[in-house]
Amino acid sequence: MIVGEQKPFDEIWQMVKDHKQLTVFGCNTCVAVCHQGGNKEAEILASLLRMRATQEGLDIDIKDGGIERQCEHPFFDSAKELLEKSEAILSLACGIGVQFVAAKFMTTPVYPGLNTTFLGMCRPTGILPKSARPAATVSSG
């Protein structure tokens, strides 16, 4: 699994504030598991961007959406119309997903909304790594 974290909001705002139409586009696999890049996160970030645009008196049409995986071409069919109408796309995917979106929509600016941090492994719920387990105690009698 690829783990990512959302870029600071002000950094994202600086990337996208000059566009009149923006799509915040989630990826519903790896980065959704770490609660950084799925449809829900795209919807939340789009709302925050709308609020900031209103505060600054900017008229920006901000839509949100997403697909199962931004790193596989077949998943884009369901979002093709949304993305083709976008003036700019803010991708909430790992670096690979951002590159896929940019390759598919070459005339549209595509901005990364996440920083890919590392490749990780999911542990079953309730299982802690050894370093997080409490040390065994020995009583003297």
Sequence ranges of the domains in the chain? 2-122
First to last CA, the chain: 47
C-alpha–C-alpha distance, residues 18 and 80, integer Å: 23
19-52 pLDDT, tens digit each = 999 999 999 988 888 888 889 999 999 999 999 9
CA 72 to chain centre: 16
Report how far residue 125's alpha carbon sits from residue 108's, in angstroms, rounded to the nearest whole number. Answer: 40
Beta pairing partners, 67: 27
The correct CATH number of 2-122 out of 3.30.565.10, 3.40.309.10, 3.40.50.620, 3.40.50.11860 is 3.40.50.11860
Tell me the one-letter amino acid at 98: V
CA distances from 6 to 39, 56, 69, 108 (A): 14, 22, 17, 21
Per-residue model confidence as pLDDT tens digits over 94-124: 889 999 999 999 999 999 999 988 676 666 6
